[in-house]
Amino acid sequence: MTAPAEPIATNPMPSAIRTLWRVVAVIQAVVIVVAGLVVGILGDLFAVTLALVAVAVVFLALRLWVINLAFDRWRWGIDHRWIERRSGVLIRTTQVVPRTRVQTLTTKTGPIDRWLGLSSIVIHTAGTHTPNLTIPHLENEAAEQLRSELAG
């Protein structure tokens, strides 16, 4: 048996994840705008409102752009010996965990996850330093399949 000379992280994330990230980005932008409106109306400082609206627009534009980059960078994969994950836009990370080292598996779903039919798998190894390899927001079916394959 040989080590994965070719990257085994070839699976992209489900495209619904982009919807999830976009929804979160829009919510954050809306929070900034609402904060601006509150300050503007209560404090009679509409210059602040305008500034915060501008911040929200720039933030949203940047986030939407980065979301596409992050989506393109995200890859995960599993074969009979390895689990590999690649991610990151500015700081790029690769994680390789031998399957013999998997200690526990956790499945997590948030409210937006559930609405989009996604769930995250966290793979724990022993020890306390970055032992967790998280494969976030997989389609439920794929997550269940991965979970049962790793647990089996």
With CA atoms as reference, report the closest residue to 6 among 92, 98, 77: 77
Q: How far is the CB of 8 from another protein (least distance, A)?
A: 11
Which neighbouring-strand residues pair with 82? 98
Q: How far is the CB of 115 from another protein (least distance, A)?
A: 31
The residue (of 20 and 83) whose beta carbon lies closer to another protein is: 83
C-alpha 51/C-alpha 57 separation (Å) is 10
Q: How far is the CB of 70 from another protein (least distance, A)?
A: 14
Binding site for another protein (CB under 8 A): 1-5, 81-82, 90-101, 125-131, 133
The half-sphere exposure of 146 on its side-chain side, counting CA atoms within 13 A, is 28
